[in-house]
Amino acid sequence: MKGPLLKVENLVKHYPLGKGMFKKNAKVVRAVQDVSFTVEAGETLCIVGESGCGKSTVARLLMRLTEPTEGRVLLEGTDIASLNTHALRDGRRRMQLVFQDPSSSLNPRLTAGQIITEPVENFERMTRAKREALASDLLRKVGLAQEIMHRLPSELSGGQRQRLGIARALSLNPAIIIADEAVSALDVSVQAQILNLLMDLQEETGIAFVFISHDLGVVEHIGHRVAVMYLGRIVELAKSDVLFAKPLHPYTEALIAAAPLPDPREVRREVPVEGEVPSPVNPPAGCAFHPRCPLAEARCRVEVPALTTLPDGRAVACHVRASSGEAMQPLIDASQSGGNRQADLQPSR
């Protein structure tokens, strides 16, 4: 296969609002605006942002669970919009989704073994022996005991249910998994187990992930690259270690500065950002972040900044930072604590 595993080109998703939806000037929710990125085989791209930034809509667009207003998604070079129902089913074998809430995404009437093998049985007839061998293999792969095979989802813990959801997604041998807030509903200790499981599976099988999360700690742990979304747009896209050490976009800086540090003795430099995220129905003109941005200048109020790739490979949508090309100082205040803080910020990947 030439080119990236997944290529997303200029995706736009607008949802018409209310009764006026057929009128010319009807209000629309601008959920996703001109989003482009690629994912290579064996890579984890994280998409991060606050609630309502459009990241879950991107997940739905990738799976073609909703149709884009504009733009396209190419999986292994094929535009998924060009696939008929039959071909789309095959395409979905290659790209699977893991949901946030394992309880609601698993059929409560099926046993764990049936849940795992059900997707495969939609494509092929299997003997009982083959079915049991497949379920047994996938239970082992995701670290679940064999006796779970005959239990219902209600008899499992939250962590076990999420492992089961991952086993089900793996059953069709996908090239990529879209994980939408896949660990958000779990306790911190269970979160770590699931993240480690995903990284082990990646090492073992070369699978790629698009990992969608609002939690920067999780993203830093698992991502090779990170795309930061604000009000439907990607505002920064960079390698994870680069982004967390020296964020470039003022919103990325504020997001990282507001995230808790694992070591309470460490102090992050304050990044002053005021106000709330504006409505996607009526986003501000120009740069959507300008009403909250401490660096905003006249141009920012009228001109939408393009996502610009800089010589070091990172991309940023900011008039000021794209032209200066300068990352901010490290966010950890070196005067506040000892130790190698820069090293402490390095992701564990």
Structure tokens at 73: 């998604």
319 in contact with ligand SF4 (CB under 6 A): yes
Binding ligand SF4 (rule: CB under 6 A), the pick from 166, 231, 243, 318 is: 318
Our finding on whether 230 is near ligand SF4 (CB under 6 A) is: no
**233 is a site residue for ligand SF4 (CB under 6 A):** no
Our finding on whether 320 is near ligand SF4 (CB under 6 A) is yes
331-337 long-range contacts (CB < 8 A, ≥24 apart) are: 331/247, 331/253, 331/256, 331/257, 331/268, 331/269, 331/271, 332/261, 332/266, 332/267, 332/268, 332/269, 333/267, 333/268, 333/269, 336/265, 336/266, 336/267, 337/263, 337/265, 337/266, 337/267
CB of 288 to ligand SF4, least distance (A): 8
Q: Does 238 bind ligand SF4 (CB under 6 A)?
A: no
Least distance from ligand SF4 to the Cβ atom of residue 318, Å: 3
- Rank residues 39 and 300 by Cβ distance to ligand SF4 and give the closer one: 300
Selected binder of ligand SF4 within 305, 315, 327, 345 (CB under 6 A)? 305
Give the C-alpha separation, 289 to 274, whole Å.
Answer: 10
Whole-angstrom Cα Rg for the chain = 21
316 - beta bridge partners? 236, 308
Q: Which is nearer to ligand SF4, 29 or 318 (CB)?
A: 318
Interaction of residue 295 with ligand SF4, rule CB under 6 A: yes
- Backbone phi, then psi, for 328, in 5-degree steps? -70, 170
The C-alpha angle with vertex 11 and arms to 281 and 28, in degrees rounded to 5, equals 20
Which residue is listed with tokens 């200029």?
10
CB 314 within 8 A of CB 237: yes
Residue 91 in the binding site for ligand SF4 (CB under 6 A):
no
49 belongs to the binding site for ligand SF4 (CB under 6 A): no
> Can residue 250 be called a binding residue for ligand SF4 (CB under 6 A)?
yes
CA dist., res. 92 & res. 77, Å (int): 14
Cβ proximity to ligand SF4, 29 vs 300, nearer residue: 300
For residue 99, state whether it binds ligand SF4 (rule: CB under 6 A).
Answer: no
Q: Which two tokens stand for residue 344?
A: 């402490």
Contact status: 296 vs ligand SF4 (CB under 6 A): yes
Binds ligand SF4 (CB under 6 A): choice among 168, 246, 290, 314: 290
Nearer Cβ to ligand SF4 (166/320)? 320
Q: Please work out, in degrees rounded to the nearest 5, the angle formed at the alpha carbon of residue 57 by the alpha carbons of 201 and 186.
A: 45
Enumerate binding residues for ligand SF4 (CB under 6 A).
249-250, 287, 289-290, 293, 295-296, 300, 305, 318-320
